[in-house]
Amino acid sequence: MSSVVGEITPQPAATEIATGARGYWSTVARRLSRDPVSVICAVILAAILASAIFAPWLGLADPYQGSMIRRLRVVGTPHYPLGTDELGRDMLARLIYGGRLSLLTGILPVCLAFITGTSLGIVAGYAGGKINTAVMRTIDVFYAFPSVLLAIAISGALGAGIVNSIVSLTIVFIPQITRVAESVTIAVRNRDFIDAARASGAGPLTIMRVHVLGNVLGPIFVYATGLVSVSMILASGLSFLGLGTRPPEPEWGLMLNTLRTAIYANPVVAALPGAMIFAVSICFNLLSDGLRSAMNIRD
Amino acid sequence: MLVYIIRRVAYVVPIVICVALVCFLLVHLAPGDPLVAVLPADASQELAAQLRAAYGFDRPLPVQFGLWIWKVAHGDLGTSIATGRPVLSEVTRAVGNTVMLACAAATIGFSLGLFLGLVAGYFRDTWIDKVAAAIASTGLSVPYYWLGIVLVIIFSAQLNWLPAVGAGPGGSNAWSWDWAHLRYLVLPAITAAAVPMGIVTRTVRALTADILSQDFVEALRAKGLRERQVFRHVVRNAAPTALAVMGLQLGYMLGGSILTETVFSWPGTGLLLNSAIFQRDLPLLQGTILVLALFFVFLNLLVDVVQAAIDPRIARS
Amino acid sequence: MGTRGHLLEPIVDRGGAAQPLLTVQGLTKHFPVRGGLFTQRKTVRAVDDVSFVVHKGETVGIVGESGCGKSTTARLLMHLIDRDLGDILYDGMAVGADLSLRELRRGMQMVFQDSYASLNPRLTLEDSIAFGPKVHGLADRPARVLARELLDKVGLRPEVFAGRYPHEISGGQRQRVNIARALALSPRLVILDEAVSALDKSVEAQVLNLLAELKREFGLTYIFISHDLDVVRYISDRVLVMYLGEVVELGPVERLWETPAHPYTRALLAAMPSMDPDRRTESAPLAGDPPNPIDPPAACRFHTRCPFAEPICGTVAPRLATLGADGHQVACHLSTPGSGHSRAPSELARKG
């Protein structure tokens, strides 16, 4: 044995030696934490998310309690730091409470589509042949619709409501994620380690779970993060059209719609809900870019 | 090449049939009675049955689909329940306005995107690149209906420079190419241009940076070619992908105009769709969606064929 | 388990020493190639009617230019791709009938050429090695102990390497991990598909030494696929020469090197740089690239490049024929008495 132990190892990068072996995701997280833009976006998102979740404990005014006397107060009014809306309700409270439904309807469809689309895409990509053809040709039909049109068509047919809005957006995003998952799976499937795994007697499900999933999750995750940005805009857009949340629930898209009457009287307050959608959307977008470069994905 | 085009065209046939099926199912699997919009609340059973028979809603679904697609193939998209006019004529009237808006938005979005993308790609990793990337990300992430409202607040409510809603004096039927009408197009076009601007900037930036970092550009420069000629090479190599992306974006603008048109009450297909949804005018909803989707399918086909024509590598793969 | 430690028991030797470990009969694989709209469908005849046996404990080398079907043969033997025709018997047992595919996996493993692509980049080395045994029912803990033991066997200190990822180690170390992974199921046959070809010469020698030691320690049988004739000669007992999907010559390594019978084998050997001036042959090395396997030449596939080609070579396909008692076989009209080739030995000479 001694004759073979003395092999000279090319020295990996110094940092690699110092930190020892690192998993893929911890490497990605470390690289991401060195990107100031990503960190700022993550902090903003965490703050918005946390305030939405813990809204009842923040000592805010009642987001449903209006008053005809104090309608459309400007930003900076005492007791109403962000003014009041067209029914005299506190904007700060409504914006923070509004995050609950807006974030839910924006993020949940992508999560659902991520689970479904990843599974479909991996199976289609790994199995190939007829299964692949069946899945991917079905996907093609959905690609024949612009995504906004598809979302509105499904929502319009199903009728207004939060659940319908989530369902329609999930249906819109499944094909997109499936396509990404399928293409990265095909790239992975042709690598030798998949053959090695097959040669060790593992079944397709085990191989997909152990060897394919870990290698495709990164790119799909990046794509899905970017999709949340689109999903936020679409979900609030559906509410804006009257196809999502119904009054008096606070939700950014719906608030933007009802405040349209106030664009002459109180333009800053009228624009605030849209600014929230914008903030969340751009943070997810930039975070997706940061993740992409942290994972070294070329597009 | 020819083989590729034939294959690509042949592939459109099943897609078109499936798209029609989706449009059909969308409406027929939707909850609620499709006649709810026309029936008076106290309608008798006979009246309901009569109307149901008149619209063909009493037949089994496959038969309804067959009849419907037969009529569609002959240019009959049915009758709008709300207005009583043929769906096709409603859609054709609106399509012109949507196309006009999409083309205006494309002009703004694409020219800005091409410019920003080229500049960013040329000056990669400099502050210019970062500014362009920030503009692109903003265009992609901004809820454009909100952008429209902000534009209205600034340019209509505050400055009173441009009109907030509508398509000009005389409504949707009296368009003419003068400033009195064109000024109505400005804000909707900018609103609809945000997303395509972002996408085109990103695409062109990546393409330009990629081409400039390739060996053959180094070789061209080493051969003493002037930057102008290098630029020509960049354009020639980036054109197929950039054109494809722009074609697709044009399709998205045509099909996804509902939010912009709603904000500005622009009398296009989007506004039509909006009213169809809220009046539960299902034939109109179905017909509009079908027309828009078919538009999109054929635009995609056109993009693929043009792309293959200018870049033979695509047809071969 | 004695000296085997935590290693799995190899599957039982049923046939005894006389039974070949692997019998390959008429193995054939054609890949369809998609033609244009108006052109006919074509096929790549990647492997065509290949037959050979591998005896227990020996190392059989397979040589040939790239594209000659060596790797396809390996994947066919591993049942990674389905064959069109032919029989593969493992220890006298047909897969699917006497032996399940799963059992075959235990008995036969493979090491791939690309050491990086053949390891899952998201798994630690330990996890990669432990995967196979876990698939075959070993619990997580003992599978890890086994993996560490194997790392030690291939000369990698487990405490240093077990938790590392493939990108953190060198090519030679990766190939050791791949060998350990192949051994984790205690196979009796290991196919080494260009397993050392991508390595530096010095590292290659160390890995070859390791392979020799492991063979002795575990009583392994190797099929060693390579385009590097020096390496094949060093490690093999018998050699199979392939050309465009067919076996053109096979025999004991020394016999082949001393008296190569097929013009292709001679050309391959002549193309090798030799240190010994006496051994340099006069015959011309191979000219040109091998013909396209999509449309291989008729009859003898080598006749387009063969210096001794005659009309007969383009019309009648030569069959593998035995030359001597040591199992030396060649498929060439030159060596077949009565073949019709002007230089063929006469029928009389054969009888006498």
Quote the ipTM score.
0.88
Top pLDDT among A249 and C9 is at: A249
Q: How confident is the model at residue A19 (pLDDT cuts 50, 70, 90)?
A: very low
> For residue C217, what are its two tokens?
């320690």
What is the structure's pLDDT at A16? 37
Is the confidence at residue B100, as pLDDT, over 80? Answer: yes
Distance CA C332, CA C308 (A): 10
pLDDT at C351: 45
Do B209 and B121 contact (CB within 8 A), yes or no? yes
Joined tokens for residue A94: 């409504």
Backbone phi and psi for residue C191, each to the nearest 5 degrees, phi listed first: -95, 125
User: Which band of pLDDT confidence, cut at 50, 70 and 90, is reported for residue C268?
Assistant: confident
Distance of CA C140 to the CA centre of its chain: 33
Report yes or no: A182 and A172 within 8 Å, Cβ to Cβ.
no
**Closest Cα in chain C, distance from residue A14 (Å):** 11
Give dist(CA A110, CA A92) in Å, integer: 27
Residues of chain C with C-beta less than 8 angstroms from the C-beta of B1? none
- Phi/psi at C33 (nearest 5 deg)? -115, 130
Q: What pLDDT, on a 0 to 100 scale, did the predictor assign at position B65?
A: 85
Q: pLDDT category, B272, cuts 50, 70, 90?
A: very high
Domain spans of chain A, in order of start: 38-63+80-295
Banded model confidence at residue A8, pLDDT cuts 50, 70, 90: very low
pLDDT band, very low/low/confident/very high, at B317 (cuts 50, 70, 90): low
Q: Any idea what DSSP says for residue B317?
A: -
Kindly state whether residue C326 falls inside one of the protein's structural domains.
Answer: no
Distance of CA B5 to the CA centre of its chain: 24
CB within 8 Å: C112 and A195: yes
**What Cα–Cα distance (Å) separates residue B275 from each residue in A154, B30, B145, B291?**
15, 17, 17, 16
Q: Is the pTM of this model over 0.90?
A: no
Rounded distance, CA C125 to CA A86, Å? 63
pLDDT confidence of residue A68: 79
Contacts of A27 by beta carbon, 8 Å cutoff, 6+ apart: none
Are the beta carbons of C108 and C89 closer than 8 angstroms? no
Mean pLDDT of C77-106: 90
| Percent over 70 (pLDDT), chain B | 91
Q: What is the pLDDT of residue C38?
A: 55
Quote the CA–CA distance of B287 and B23 in Å, as a whole number. Answer: 8
Give me the amino acid identity at A122.
I
Inter-residue contact C103 to A199 (CB < 8 Å): no
Which residues from chain A sit within 8 angstroms of residue C101, using beta carbons? 201
| CB C120 within 8 Å of CB C134 | no
C320, C331 in Cβ contact below 8 A? yes
List the structure tokens of A191. 């690598």
Locate the domains of chain B by residue range.
2-73, 89-316
Distance from CA of B305 to the nearest CA of C (A): 17
C104 contact partners, CB below 8 Å, separation of at least 6: C79, C90, C95
| Distance between C106 CA and the closest CA of chain A, angstroms | 7
d(CA C205, CA C207): 5
Let me know if C318 is exposed, middle or buried by CB neighbors in 10 A (0-12, 13-18, 19+): buried
| CB hemisphere CA count around B222 (13 angstroms) | 6
- Percent of chain B at pLDDT exceeding 90: 33
- In angstroms, the CA C81 to CA C111 distance is 16
- pLDDT mean over C153-160: 93
CATH topology of domain A38-63+80-295: MetI-like fold (1.10.3720)
Q: For residue A12, what pLDDT is reported? A: 40
Of C158 and C39, the one with more pLDDT: C158
8 A C-beta contact, residue B63 and residue B151: no
Mean of per-residue pLDDT scores for chain C = 86
Half-sphere exposure of A292 (CA within 13 A, CB side): 14
| CB of C34 less than 8 A from some CB of B | no
B230, B236, B237, B240: CA torsion to nearest 10: 160
Top pLDDT among C210 and C343 is at C210
Please tell me which of A144-148, A204-208, C44-48, C331-335 the model is most confident about, judged by mean pLDDT.
A204-208
Residue A299: predicted pLDDT = 47
Amino acid, single-letter form, for residue C155? G
Gyration radius of chain A's alpha carbons: 24
> Is the per-residue pLDDT at A2 higher than 50?
no
Asked whether residue C105 carries a pLDDT value surpassing 80, the answer given is: yes
A151-155, A274-278, C12-16 — which is least confidently predicted? Answer: C12-16
B143 and B149 Cβ atoms separated by less than 8 Å: no
Tell me the CA distances in angstroms from C173 to A3, C179, C196, one per residue in order: 14, 10, 11
3-state SS assignment for residue C309: coil
Tokens in use for A288?
């997706």
- Do you find a cis peptide bond into A248, omega within 30 degrees of 0? yes
Question: How close A135 comes to chain B (CA, Å)?
Answer: 14
At which residue do the structure tokens 């059909």 appear?
Answer: B24
- What pLDDT is attached to residue A20? 47
C191 beta partners:
C110, C223
pLDDT at A98: 92
Alpha carbons within 13 angstroms on the beta-carbon side of residue A80 total 20
User: In the predicted model, what is the mean pLDDT of chain A?
Assistant: 87
Q: What is the pLDDT of residues B122-173, one digit of tens each?
A: 888 899 999 999 999 999 999 999 999 999 999 988 888 888 887 776 665 6
Residue with tokens 């210019």: B128
Quick check: C37 contacting B, CB < 8 Å?
yes
Contacts of B3 in chain C (CB under 8 A): 36-38
Reply yes or no on whether the pLDDT at A7 is more than 60: no
The whole-angstrom separation of Cα C15 and Cα C19 is 5
Residue C25 has pLDDT above 80, yes or no: yes
**Contact by Cβ (8 Å): C215, C153:** no
pLDDT at residue B87 is higher than 80: yes
The mean-pLDDT minimum among B217-231, C49-63, C99-113 falls in B217-231
Mean per-residue pLDDT, C308-334? 86
Q: Report the length, in residues, of chain A.
A: 299
Q: How far apart (Å, rounded) are the C-alpha atoms in residues A265 and A92?
A: 18
- Residue A159's pLDDT is what? 84
Largest CA distance in chain B: 86
With bands split at pLDDT 50, 70 and 90, how would you rate the model's confidence at A4? very low
Q: Is the pLDDT of residue C1 over 70?
A: no
The region that residue C245 occupies, defined by phi over 0 for left and psi between -120 and 50 for alpha, beta otherwise, is left
A229-269 pLDDT, tens per residue?
999 999 999 999 999 888 888 999 999 999 988 888 889 98
Summarize pLDDT for B275-299 with one digit per residue, the tens: 888 888 888 888 899 999 998 999 9
Q: Among candidates B265, B263, B268, B258, which has minimal Cα distance to B145? A: B263
Domain of residue C30, CATH code: 3.40.50.300
**Rounded to whole angstroms, how far apart are CA atoms C168 and C19?**
43
Mean pLDDT of C280-298: 68
Contact C36 B3 (CB under 8 A): yes
**For A209-223, B80-94, C198-212, which range has the lowest pLDDT when averaged over its residues?**
B80-94
Sign of the C-alpha dihedral, residues B97, B100, B104, B110? positive
What is the maximal distance between C-alpha atoms in chain C? 69
Q: Is the dihedral of CA A276, A280, A282, A283 positive or negative?
A: positive
Domain B89-316 class in CATH: mainly alpha
Q: Looking at residue C282, what is its pLDDT?
A: 53
How much of chain A, in percent, has pLDDT values that exceed 70? Answer: 92
Strand partners for C238? C60, C252
CB-defined contacts A:B, below 8 A? 131
Pick among C37, C38, C39 to test the B interface (most B CBs inside 10 A): C37
Q: DSSP class of residue B152?
A: I
Rg (C-alpha) for chain B, rounded Å, is 24
Cα separation of B231 and B216, whole Å?
13
pLDDT band at C277 (very low <50, low <70, confident <90, very high): low
Phi and psi at residue C238, to the nearest 5° = -130, 155
B177: which residues sit within 8 A by CB, 6+ positions away?
none
* 3-class state of residue A285 by DSSP: helix
Q: Does B7 sit within 8 Å of C36, measured CB to CB?
A: no
Query: What is the DSSP pairing of strand C329-330 with strand C321-322?
Result: antiparallel
Q: Rounded distance, CA A60 to CA A74, Å? A: 18
Q: Domain tally for chain C?
A: 1
pLDDT tens, position by position, A125-184:
999 899 999 999 999 899 888 999 999 989 888 888 999 999 999 999 999 999 999 999
Looking at residue C285, what is its pLDDT?
60
* Res. A70 pLDDT band, cuts 50 70 90: confident
Mean pLDDT of C271-281: 60
Question: Which of A192, A221, A295 is most worth mutating to test chain C (most C CB atoms within 10 A of its CB)?
Answer: A192
Instruction: For A12, name the nearest residue in chain C, comparing CA atoms only.
Output: C168
Host domain of residue C211: 2-8+19-242
Is C107 within 8 Å of C90 (Cβ atoms)? yes
Name the residue facing A201 among C102, C110, C117 (closest C-beta).
C102
* Cβ pair A64, A89 in contact under 8 A: yes
What are the chain A neighbours of C168 within 8 Å (beta carbons)? Answer: 12, 16, 21
Flag whether C257 is in a domain.
no
Distance, in Å, from the CA atom of C73 to the CA atom of C81, rounded to the nearest integer, reads 9
